[in-house]
A and B are shown apart, each in its own frame.
Chain A
């Protein structure tokens, strides 16, 4: 199975900050990577697929980049509603679909 290493596991930031989360795949996965946001007690919500394509309705302050093994999720100007846990997921080789360990974005 393809392993996904996500970093950092947590970060503290302030409203208005630029935040970057990275995922590294154990082998090349082209652009078959998705990003999800999860708030406490809620189901994950799709933010980005195909590494950089924004899901409908997702604010443009979210962006994704990367291809191959290295990927980045960027939140350009952190808003209060963005404090959550973020997961990446590869869908290049499956089953199983595999997830990163998650990054918790907390208020500084």
Chain B
């Protein structure tokens, strides 16, 4: 059974930093790119970041580029999101997401339970 368990969320002051982790099990973690998607309170889903299966390629939404860093440790089956220079608008539940291949593309088949990040003074 696929499991994605996020941790590391909490309350942080504006300008502060936080590192999220996502522990994966039930599939061959090192074979999959992985993703982070966030959801501000009462709002919709916003795509944040992706990392290739070997960590060699990354993508960031414009809203977090230069402030967030995605990484992974395939030996530990763990995905990370290092967040710095945090702003109030980064307040959200952050989901770790596993993709599944369809034809020549990928959609999202498993989501973690999410971890809440609150940026406030």
| Interface residues, chain A, with chain B CB atoms under 8 Å away | 32, 34, 36, 42-46, 49-50, 55, 87, 89, 91-92, 94-102
A43 to B107, Cβ gap below 8 A?
Answer: no
How long is the Cα–Cα vector from A39 to B108 in the complex, in angstroms?
A: 17
Are the CB atoms of A43 and B102 closer together than 8 Å?
no
* Contact A50 B95, beta carbon cutoff 8 Å: no
- CB pair B107 A101 closer than 8 Å: no
Question: Chain A contacts of B109 at CB under 8 A?
Answer: 46, 49, 55
Q: Does the CB pair B105–A92 fall under 8 Å? A: yes
Task: Provide the residues of chain A in CB contact with B59, threshold 8 Å.
Answer: 95-96
B114:A49 contact, CB within 8 angstroms:
no
Docked pose: A102 CA to B43 CA in angstroms: 9
| B107 contact set on A, CB distance < 8 A | 32, 34, 46, 49, 89, 91, 97
Instruction: Report yes or no: A43 in contact with B114, Cβ–Cβ below 8 A.
Output: yes
Binary interface encoding of chain B residues 31-48 relative to chain A, with 1 for a CB under 8 A from any of its CBs, else 0: 000010000000011110
B105–A43 contact, CB under 8 A? no
Q: How far is the CB of A99 from chain B (nearest CB, A)?
A: 4
Q: A43-B113, A89-B107, A101-B44 are in contact. Are A95 and B102 (CB under 8 A)?
A: no
| B95 with A49: CB separation less than 8 A | no
State whether B112 touches A32 (Cβ < 8 A).
no
B111 CB contacts on chain A under 8 angstroms: 43-45
Chain A residue contacts of B61, Cβ below 8 A: 96
8 Å CB contact of A44 from B45, B46, B106: B45
A46, A92, A94, A96, most chain B CB atoms within 10 A: A96
B47 with A95: CB separation less than 8 A:
yes
Q: In the complex, A102→B107 CA distance in Å?
A: 17
Q: Which of A42, A43, A45, A87 contacts B44 (CB 8 A)?
A: A87
Query: Which of B45, B100, B114 contacts A99 (CB under 8 A)?
Result: B45
Q: Given A43-B95, A46-B108, do A91 and B102 touch, yes or no (CB 8 Å)?
A: yes
Task: List residues 45-81 of chain B with CB under 8 A from any CB of chain A.
Answer: 45-47, 50, 59, 61
Write the chain B residue with the least CB distance to A50.
B102
